Chain A
Amino acid sequence: MDLPQGTLDLLILKAIGLGPQHGWAIAERIQQISKDALSVQQGSLYPALHRLERRGWVKARWGTSDNNRRAKYYELTRSGQKQLDAQSSAWRTLTAAVGLLLDAPEGEAS
């Protein structure tokens, strides 16, 4: 399923919010949690991560993974956490509103 415009950042922030992760693991995590419903375009993952880093929402550091490989780990900063909260509630408001609209019985508006 394709992601609506602008939701990639939110998903990434959420995935990182669960704990510091490297790029591959972030993509994996999004796919797992959404039960394979959402898949991240791998090509757009890294530019998005770099953009978030520039904005200061995530912080990157080099670390060693469980299989002893050097990897770039991303973690949420304080302003990233705030951003995540704000975007999550905005998303919920939006989906709730869209839901209401879609649940309305047809023919009533006219």
Chain B
Amino acid sequence: VIADLAYRLRALFRRSAVERELVEELQAHLDYAIEKGVAAGQTRDEAERRARIALGGVDQIKEDCREAWGTALVETLLQDLRYGVRIVRRTPLVACTVVATISLTTAALATVFSLGHTLLLRRLPVRDASRLVSVGATRGTARTDGTVSYPDYLAFRDHAKTVTTLAAIYPTAPLFVTVRDTSREINGAVVSSNFFGMMGITPALGRFFRDDEDRVPDRDRVAVVSDSMWRSWFAASPDVLGAAVRINGVDFTVIGVAPPSFAGTTPMPIEIYIPTMMLRVGYRWCDDSLAETCTILSMMGRLAPGRTVGDAAAEFPTLMPAPWVKAPKGENSGIAVTQPQGMTEDSDEPPLVRNLAAAAVVLLAVCCANLTGLLGAQSASRAGEFSIRLSLGAAPRRIVRQVMTESLLLAGVGGLGGLLLSRVFIAALASTFFSVDDEGHPLLYDFGQTPAGMAVTMAAALAAGVAFSVIPALQAVRLQAGGVLKARSISSRWRPRTWLLAGQAAVAVAMAVVAILLVGNVRLMLEGRNYEPSHVALMRVRPRLVKYTPQRAQQFQREAVRRLAAVPGVESVTMVGVGTVLSGGSARVGLPEWPDDQLVRVGYNEVGPQYFSTLRVAMCAGREFDDRDGLGAPAVAIVNDTLARRLWPGADPLGATMRVGTRVCRVVGVVTDVPLASRTKPDEAWAYAPFWQNPGSIDSRIAIRVAGDPAAALPALVHEVNQIDPDVPIAETITLPIRMAGLTRPLRVGATFIAYIAMLTVLLTATGLYGTLAFDVSRRAKEIGIRLAMGAGRSGVVMLVVRQGAGVLAVGAAVGLAIAPGAIGLVGHLLYSRAATDWLYYLAGTGLVVAVGLMASWLPARRAAAVEPLAALRCE
């Protein structure tokens, strides 16, 4: 077999040498024959003539030998390719259209692969990442990423046998860091000393934590910095080792630099690491962060040799601390072991990726249908060429192969183009949607293409090449059977190509409806409904990180509000304690007489005076909180419309009393709903209490409405607060629209992607319609000429052609509108607009496709009407 292959390869690549040898061999044969003839008494010429006759046609022998070399398949392929390239150069417009269509289509496919791989599949960039497991507490719900306390972690670590290492991580610690005179809040991590060894990474400089540095609470104040922090804060100097770093007001010493390849275990890159024994500095929201009540640590382990995830999943529940077994609802009560895979943290993203992949496949199908039509028209116009080749003895199989080779050539080029284009798309996707989270923290997603993704993309391009060339190729051959002239007179209106066009139009309508709906919802979220996000700047002030007491913190907050309100251009200032602006916290509420177990969980914020006027949320009744609602004053609350209707159906809630947690408050206002729940979820009930009536308030998120651009105003606002105490960390300085954009990332990613696909399908439908009708008009020029000569009006001819396009569009619109509700259902979890207004989007989507389609039909119709009867008839 190997010798056979070597022989074929030599014949293929040493072609000229092999051919020369053959010529020489045949010449030797002739020489012998001539010699023999001469010896027998013939003249030399006579002998040569006879020898040549006996040998037969030299070219035929050569051809047969080539066949014997086993290179015929490759030979004809090369020949087809050469011929294909020539055809491509002769019809550059068709070729460009095919390549562009495939590029734009496969680019979408490759982009989805990248997105899906990174969000759902990618593993950490560490040694043997497939042997890592996440060990998370469960709390009676589906989530398995529950955190545990330090004592619980120790219990698991010291007894687990299915993992060689079990590390504890708090990967998203906001740390207020000061180096020399620069202070900033950055994302840090509190990790156990075995964390780096488990990851299998080695320090770029210095060393990682020793086990004895993570044994005694609060003793070893050592820190490891990330590669990016080393570069930006220490100018990549080796002096970083031993440098002093102040973290949350405590001095640490840098002992090492992490390698550039490792940025942490979540999309939020880790800038600095401290050991778990320093958790009291790294986490300020528990009285004692190392106590059993403070569940803040995640756990990761490396499987012992020969052990599987299943083994670990079986072992860990047997190690659960005793209190977990009879834990109340909402507390840690179980343990789950999973493999860390993919970077997504949003439950909307897995279905989103699936839907986008489905949309990309549909686009691929539309692309195939479209190109089938295009190449079908082309091969019909090449009928003459094919009939000549067939009559010269070419096998029909050969013609089919020829047409398919051409298509595959174009599809291959298109696939490569798609891969290149997808790099641009992925980069744009990453920087637009995945670089900052909804609170302004930098994110790091690795969207690099994988070899598998690239291979599948190329395979899809080539498969499409086969798919869209089969029908035209067969058609090219079949046309010959009936003869060109006969085929020309068959023009029944609904040929397969027309059905393909109607199918494209249907997909275009459905895609356009969904795209317009998604884009409309993005606008709705960024512009706000029942509130106005524009002109609102946000900042988060966390005196707790530097150990402020509540009393001192509240003094600080009052001063901050007073100073901010005095800044020119500021219209109003307010704050949120529990939760975040427009979302966040929750509380259990009810009527005063309700027992504890009947209380319902609702959205809950503790907000400052002027909260609703700052966000431009209208009051339905009553008033909002003001400066009177302080600690000494009666406890008050505000409810939203939905909660008011639930607690006091049909009655006036103003002045009524309600329970918020353990307190009883009097309702002083009812506020309109701010609909931020998607349409698949019920309307949210919200309760609000005054920020100043919580004696424990320390940290806050401040919202400032300004007259001009909030982003431009932020530096001055931050500076104003910094002047009170420069040591108090200020972070998450963003604008409300940016925050809303971050909160709706899946919606925006989906809208962008589907809008792209919709645009392509509409465009393809239009070009397909145009191409088909223009081709028809050119073939029916004679018929149209006769009609005109017989007295048909030009407008009648226009109608004749446009009606054909309109028919296709009508069928497409009907089918498209029938499938659109199903498509909308798939993205329902991303939609915030009410289902009752969907008809508007149906109308807009259909209108768009029909308008573009009619335009595309009108252009060839005009050309038809311009046919000169005499010229058309003379052409025949």
B is bound to A: yes
Task: Give the interface of A toward B (CB within 8 A).
Answer: 22-25, 41-44, 46-48, 50-51, 53-56, 67, 69-72
B4 touches A46 (CB 8 A): no
Instruction: Please measure, in the bound complex, the distance between the C-alpha atom of A48 and the C-alpha atom of B209, giving whole angstroms.
Output: 76
A72 touches B21 (CB 8 A): yes
B28 touches A46 (CB 8 A): no
Would you call the interface of chain B mostly helix, strand, loop, or mixed? helix
Instruction: Please measure, in the bound complex, the distance between the C-alpha atom of A53 and the C-alpha atom of B25, giving whole angstroms.
Output: 14
Q: Shortest 7 CB-CB distances between A and B: which pairs?
A: A43-B56, A47-B64, A24-B32, A51-B68, A50-B68, A47-B68, A72-B25
B787 in contact (CB, < 8 A): no
Task: Give the interface of B toward A (CB within 8 A).
Answer: 3-4, 7-8, 21-22, 24-26, 28-29, 31-33, 35, 54-57, 60-61, 64-65, 67-70
B22 touches A42 (CB 8 A): no
A44 touches B55 (CB 8 A): no
Q: Which residues of A contact B25 (CB under 8 A)?
A: 22-23, 46, 71-72
Q: Which residues of B contact A50 (CB under 8 A)?
A: 65, 68-69
B24 touches A56 (CB 8 A): no
CB distance from A6 to the nearest CB of B (A): 15
Q: Which residues of B contact A41 (CB under 8 A)?
A: 56
Knowing A42-B56, A50-B69 touch, does A23 contact B3 (C-beta < 8 A)? no
Q: Which of A22, A42, A55 has the most CB of B within 10 A?
A: A42
Q: Which residues of A contact B35 (CB under 8 A)?
A: 67
Q: Which residues of B contact A54 (CB under 8 A)?
A: 4, 7-8, 68-70
* Contacts A41-B56, A46-B65, A50-B65 known; 10 new A-B pairs at CB < 8 A: A22-B28, A24-B29, A42-B54, A42-B56, A43-B55, A44-B64, A46-B22, A47-B64, A50-B68, A72-B21
B31 touches A69 (CB 8 A): yes
Please give me the residue from chain A that is nearest to B30 by CB atom: A24
Q: Which residues of B contact A22 (CB under 8 A)?
A: 25, 28
Please give me the residue from chain A that is nearest to B63 by CB atom: A47
B32 touches A43 (CB 8 A): no
CB distance from A30 to the nearest CB of B (A): 14
B33 touches A24 (CB 8 A): yes
A46 touches B61 (CB 8 A): yes
CB distance from B5 to the nearest CB of A (A): 10
CB distance from A53 to the nearest CB of B (A): 7
A70 touches B28 (CB 8 A): yes
B54 touches A47 (CB 8 A): no
CB distance from B408 to the nearest CB of A (A): 28
CB distance from B2 to the nearest CB of A (A): 10
Instruction: Please measure, in the bound complex, the distance between the C-alpha atom of A70 and the C-alpha atom of B29, giving whole angstroms.
Output: 11
CB distance from A18 to the nearest CB of B (A): 18
CB distance from B374 to the nearest CB of A (A): 42
Q: Which residues of B contact A71 (CB under 8 A)?
A: 25, 28
14 A-B pairs, CB-CB below 8 angstroms? A25-B32, A42-B29, A42-B55, A46-B22, A46-B25, A47-B61, A47-B65, A47-B67, A47-B68, A50-B69, A54-B68, A54-B69, A56-B7, A72-B28
Instruction: Please measure, in the bound complex, the distance between the C-alpha atom of A24 and the C-alpha atom of B31, giving whole angstroms.
Output: 9
Q: Which of A43, A48, A67 contacts B68 (CB 8 A)?
A: A48
Please give me the residue from chain B that is nearest to A67 by CB atom: B35
A23 touches B29 (CB 8 A): yes
Knowing A43-B57, A43-B61 touch, does A69 contact B28 (C-beta < 8 A)? yes
Q: Which residues of B contact A42 (CB under 8 A)?
A: 29, 54-56
B24 touches A70 (CB 8 A): yes
Q: Which of A23, A54, A56 has the most CB of B within 10 A?
A: A54
Q: Which residues of A contact B57 (CB under 8 A)?
A: 43
B28 touches A24 (CB 8 A): yes
Q: Which residues of A contact B56 (CB under 8 A)?
A: 41-43
CB distance from B23 to the nearest CB of A (A): 11
Please give me the residue from chain A that is nearest to B60 by CB atom: A43
Q: Which residues of B contact A69 (CB under 8 A)?
A: 28, 31
Q: Which residues of B contact A47 (CB under 8 A)?
A: 61, 64-65, 67-68
Instruction: Please measure, in the bound complex, the distance between the C-alpha atom of A48 and the C-alpha atom of B26, giving whole angstroms.
Output: 14
CB distance from B37 to the nearest CB of A (A): 12
Q: Which residues of B contact A67 (CB under 8 A)?
A: 35
CB distance from B75 to the nearest CB of A (A): 15
